[in-house]
Amino acid sequence: MLVLDFDGVIADAFLECALVTYYAEHNPEQLAVRPVRELADALPKSFLDRFRTVRKYARLLEDFMAARDPAAEAIRSTADHEALLARLPPRKLAALVSGASAVRAALRTVQPGPWLDMHTLYPGVHDLLHRHRGRGTSIVTAKDAASVWEILAHHRLENTVVEVVGDCSDKRSAVLALAAADGLPNDAVTFVDDHITNALAVRDTGARSLWAWWGYHTDEHIERAVARGQRRIYLPELAALTA
C-alpha cells in the first residue's frame, strides 16, 4: 500500500497556501471575483518572505497563520514558530483557519482554472501514481479532500487514487486505519511525507516511512532525521519507487 502526503510531496502549492493565509479575513465571495493573478500580485513581499520561513515549519493550515505576524521574520526554530502561534487566542486562530478555508473554497468554485494552475505536480508523480494504479494508493493530507480530488482530476490522476483523507492532523492514526481497513500489516505500507514529524510518527508504527527531501524542511528537521536515522527519498527516485 502506498500512502502519500499531498502538499510538498505530490504538488507544490506555495503560492496558493500563501494567498489563502494572507486573505483569511476577507469576504470570500467578494474576493473570488477578483482575478487570482491580481490577488497574488498584491501579496506584499514582506509577507511572502515570512510565509517562506513559516512554510518550512508548518504541518497544518493553522500553522500558516504565524506568517501574518511581522514577528515571523525572526523565526529560527520550531519553538519560535510555536511560541508565535501561541500568541493568537484560540478563537482568533480558529476564525483565521475557517476564513482561509472559505477563501480556498470560493476561489476553487469561482475561478477553477487559475486556482488549479497554482498547484504544480512534482516530476515523477504522474508516473508513480499510474504505476501503482489499482494497488490501493491513498493520500493523507492536511488539505481538504475536495481540493485534492479536483487537483488530481485536473491532472487526470483521480483514477489512480482510491482514498483521500483530508483535513488530517494525525497521519499516524490515518495510516493505521487505512492499513487495517485493507487487512494489511503496518509493514506493508510505504508512506512518503516531507515533514519530519509525520515521517517519524508513521515510521514508529512499523510502516516503511520515507522523508521527501524535495518538500519543506529546516536545519532542525535535518538534525532530527539524522538523530533518528530517518531514511530520505530524493525526487529523482520518486518515479521508480515501488510500494
Tell me the per-residue pLDDT of 73-102, one tens digit each, with 9 for 90 and over.
999 999 999 999 999 999 999 999 999 999
146 plus 163 within the same structural domain: yes
Please tell me the pTM assigned to this model: 0.93
Residues 77, 106, single domain; the answer is: yes
The verdict on 6 and 17 lying in the same domain is: no
Is 112 found in the same domain as 127?
no
162 located within any domain:
yes
Pair (135, 92) in one structural domain: no
pLDDT tens-digit profile of 191-215? 999 999 999 999 999 999 999 999 9
**35 found inside a domain:** yes
DSSP 177-229: HHHHHTT--GGG-EEEESSHHHHHHHHTTT-EEEEETTS---HHHHHHHHHHT
Residues ≥6 apart with Cβ < 8 Å to 156: none
The reported pLDDT for the residue numbered 101 is: 97
Rounded to whole angstroms, the Cα distance separating 186 from 177 reads 10
**Does a structural domain hold residue 243?**
no
> Using CB atoms within 10 A of its CB, is residue 93 exposed (0-12), middle (13-18) or buried (19+)?
middle
* Under 8 Å between Cβ of 173 and 192: no
The whole-angstrom separation of Cα 71 and Cα 86 is: 13
Residues 158 and 204 in one domain: yes
User: Is 104 within the bounds of a domain?
Assistant: yes
Helix or strand holding residue 101 (H, E): helix 90-110
User: Residue 4's CB: how many other CB atoms inside 10 A?
Assistant: 25
Domain span at 83: 13-116
Supply the pLDDT for residue 243: 87
Q: Please check the confidence at residue 162 and state whether its pLDDT lies above 90.
A: yes
Collapsing DSSP to helix, strand or coil, 119 comes out as coil
Average pLDDT, the chain: 96
**Which residue type is seen at 176?**
L
Instruction: Provide the CATH number for the domain around residue 205.
Output: 3.40.50.1000
Please count the structural domains in the chain: 2
